[in-house]
A and B are shown apart, each in its own frame.
Chain A
Amino acid sequence: MKPYIIILIFAFFIISCDDDNVVVSTTNNNNNNNNNQNNDTDISYEWLIPVEEVFDGGPGKDGIPALTNPMLLKATDADYLDNSDLILGIVSGSEIVAYPHKILDWHEIINSSVGVHHISVTYCPLTGTGIGWNRNINGMITTFGVSGLLYNSNLIPYDRSTDSYWSQIRSDCVYGELAGNTVENIKLIETTWETWKTMYPSTLVVGDNIRYNREYDIYPYGNYNVVEWLLFPVNPLDNRLHLKERVHGIIINNKAKAYKFSSFINQNVLITDNFEGSELLIVGNSTKNFIISFFNDNSLVFEAVQDQLPIVLSDNEGNKWDVWGVALEGPRTGEQLTNTNSFMGYWFSWGAFFPDLEIYE
């Protein structure tokens, strides 16, 4: 036997072993149900989004651990936050809570209860989108986890009741038992920690004493949030603006329109706009770092109010309205403007999910 024969035999062996295969499974420790999601024999559901544009982000399912009811701190005790840090805030009844990007960058989802709301604060660090979801799905209170999958570079949470997969920006279920269902969005305001605690000094905030002891002072994606570069492909890629410019998007009838901070320079600025047949009120302040929006469905004439946060608007009847669209003073005290379906996000994510969307200039 010549030596090269040995090599040829092994080469033949290697080639014959070319049975590349992939197994993905989830085993529940409580009931030992084995759900082989991706085996040939157990594909029970169809994806409602193009599966060829769904990518495994790397850490795997629950590799980024979502939080549930994390410890809350008083604002004065949150030493780990800088005034310029971004937060997502909610007010529900007498409860006021802030969810810092510093925590969400590492955990992406915080399942929480605030006032009457069972809420999941979902945040995708890659698209910069923070959206509040009602955890009450078809009458069942669930929690959400991080699936480790991405669609158009955007977070795909899964619900732990049915193991169905949801698209964050679409806010609908795209795979599993609940496919086709939508989730109710709960309004959050994204702004700086300084602006938030100025508006709500009694706010509580998620603390950094979390058992996973991540380095919350460190942004985990390097320079991703400032460069014209994406980690995962998106389709389509719209580069009319800087890919990572934070814009406020409003969604009506599955169409979106984007509003830039450059329209809200240095003071509270009110823009009245018409989109998809609706009269809109968009209020923002580049210095205070927020943009919010409402439907103007009662034909009042509004103007921006300065230096009275959380009050941002007044009208021709003498009412004063806060950042949630609630009248705090005037004859309509207690009434509320209808919130738009809107949130902040990196420009590219709006362009990917709502191709050719309009940009307010």
Chain B
Amino acid sequence: MLRILILIPIFFLSRIADGQTCCSGGVPLSGNIGFIGEEKGLFQFELSYDYNYLNTLYYENNKLNDDSRKRTTHSVLFKTGYNILNSLSADILFSYVQQEREINQFNSINYTRTRGIGDAIVLLKYRVDGISNYNQILLLGLGSKIPLGKSNLKTDQGISLSSDLQPGSGSYDFIYWGHFQRQFKSRPSLVVLSRIIYKQNGENNEYLGSQTYQFGNEFQSIIGVGDHFFIKNLLLTPGVSIRYRNTSFDKVNKEKLANTGGDWIYLVTSVGFNINSFLTFNISPEFPIYTNLSGTQLSTDFRFNTGLHIKLNNYKSIKTLKL
């Protein structure tokens, strides 16, 4: 039971370590992968909704007096993870994405929306036993983004849309993932964690028919703390973390694309509601506290993630779920 109580805040901390985007359009893939679990046979599922709202135009770290442009990304994410061994697990993430662009200028509103299946991610994780013990754990992962999503959507007239409005990126990417967490004897439910994610992006070789497009490589590091407590019979798991994100320039035909890339620091909060031993509901809003971009870009004002998580220990739990 104690072990379960410890793992619960870890799960929610891992949620607030979610990356915001894997591309300028704001599809939150790379950071959304990475269940934490250490038991062979552990099955986990999560269905979540992610909302990313961009409305502030920046030049480097200065806000510009122009809020006429809005970009929003709605993502439905389904991920599942399975512990093949105590020290080896695999996660898969699928996405469905709706991109919106709205410009409210000169007494008219111009709106563009695309939707479709987004890209998927596969991640293999290994627990480093020499470092991991009852109080701490180190996981290392290696994964890939699979370009299931379309990256060549056109309007009904046949006009090709830009890369950041596409549900997919059109490229295979490598993901390097590391996670470290530690509990304390004085308060075992208190968890401190850090996570590092590096995504090395490949090229979409069919961009606009004949071009190559490569989203900038992305680095994220997160440090956070979480705990849990009861309110009456409801177990709550609050957490807070700071997330640093850096992306390098996007490239078109291998040349750097101006007004892409930058540095962000976010304050990420979360709270989880444990409905029962295997089902939890969570909410995680996120706010930028530092933004310094390359050139002039729209940047995130607010992000929100909510979802249901199911954790099943071996097949006995599935039978319980059926009941």
Binding site for B on A (CB under 8 A): 1-3, 6-7, 10-11, 14-15, 17-30, 37-40, 43, 47, 51-52, 54-63, 65, 145, 149, 160, 211-215, 218, 220-224, 227, 229-233
Q: Is B277 an interface residue when CB atoms closer than 8 A count as contact?
A: no
Q: Which residues of B contact A59 (CB under 8 A)?
A: 69, 103
CA distance A142 to B59 in the complex (A): 32
Beta-carbon contact of B257 and A18 below 8 Å: no
CA distance A218 to B62 in the complex (A): 14
In the bound complex, residues from chain B placing their C-beta under 8 Å from that of A231 are 252, 257
- A22, B94: Cβ atoms under 8 Å? no
Does B245 have its Cβ within 8 Å of any Cβ on chain A? no
Of B150, B255, B257, which is within 8 A of A20 by CB? B150
Contact indicator B157/A47 (Cβ below 8 Å): yes
B80 interfacial by beta-carbon distance below 8 Å: yes
Chain A residues contacting B112 (CB-CB under 8 Å) are: 22-24, 56, 60
Determine how close the nearest CB of chain B comes to the CB of A348; give it in whole angstroms: 14
Q: How far is the CB of B194 from chain A (nearest CB, A)?
A: 30
Q: How far apart are B8's CB and chain A's nearest CB, in angstroms?
A: 21
- Measured in the bound complex, the distance between the Cα atoms of B96 and A43 in whole Å is 28
Whether B150 pairs with A28 at a CB distance below 8 angstroms is no
Given contacts A60-B103, A213-B65, A233-B209, contact A20 B159 (CB under 8 A): no
Residues of A within 8 A of B78 (CB): 10, 14
Identify which of B10-18, B162-170, B171-179 touches chain A: B162-170
Chain B residue at minimal CB-CB distance from A5: B318
| Bound-state Cα–Cα, A230 to B59, Å | 23
With A15-B117, A38-B157, A212-B65 given, name 12 new contacts (CB 8 A): A17-B96, A17-B117, A22-B161, A23-B112, A24-B155, A25-B110, A27-B108, A54-B159, A56-B155, A58-B164, A60-B110, A63-B69
Subset of 5 A-B contacts with CB under 8 Å: A51-B157, A52-B160, A59-B103, A229-B253, A233-B211
Q: Who on chain A is nearest to B96 by CB?
A: A17
- Shortest 4 CB-CB contacts between residues of A and residues of B: A222-B258, A20-B116, A62-B105, A38-B155
- From the candidates A52, A211, A221, A230, name the one contacting B158 in the complex (CB within 8 A): A52
Taken together as a complex, chains A and B put the C-alpha atoms of A65 and B106 apart, in Å, by 9
Residues 145-200 of B contacting A (Cβ, < 8 Å): 150, 153-162, 164-165, 167
Q: Hey, which chain A residues are within 8 Å of B64, CB to CB?
A: 212-214
Q: Which residue of A lies closest to B210 (CB)?
A: A233
B315 touching A3, Cβ below 8 Å: yes
> Is the pair B109, A27 in contact by a Cβ cutoff of 8 Å?
yes
Which chain A residues border B136 with CB–CB below 8 Å?
Answer: none
B165 in contact with A30 (CB, 8 Å): no
B68 proximity list for chain A (CB < 8 A): 62-63, 65
Cα A52 to Cα B161 in complex, Å, equals: 11
CB nearest to B158 among chain A residues? A51
The CA-CA distance from A358 to B69 in the complex, in Å, is: 43
Say how far B1's CB is from chain A's closest CB, in angstroms. 24
Q: Is A22 in contact with B156, judged by CB distance below 8 angstroms?
A: yes
CB distance from B257 to the nearest CB of A (A): 7
Known: A1-B322, A3-B315, A62-B105. Contact between A22 and B154, CB under 8 A? yes
Closest residue of chain A to B105 (Cβ to Cβ) is A62
| B106 to chain A: closest residue by CB | A62
Give, as a whole number of angstroms, the nearest-CB distance from A19 to chain B: 7
> Contacts of A38 on B, CB cut-off 8 Å?
155-157, 159
Identity of the chain B residue whose Cβ is nearest the Cβ of A11 in the assembled complex: B94
Instruction: State the CA gap A21–B322 with chains docked (Å).
Output: 36
A43 touches B113 (CB 8 A): no
Most buried by B among A14, A37, A60: A60
List of B residues within 8 angstroms of A61 by Cβ: 103, 110
Partner of A26, one of B45, B109, B252, B315: B109
- In the complex, B101 has a CB within 8 A of chain A: yes
The residues of A that contact B159 with a CB separation of less than 8 Å are 38, 51, 54-56, 149
Q: How far is the CB of B109 from chain A (nearest CB, A)?
A: 5
User: Is B259 at the interface (CB under 8 A from chain A)?
Assistant: yes
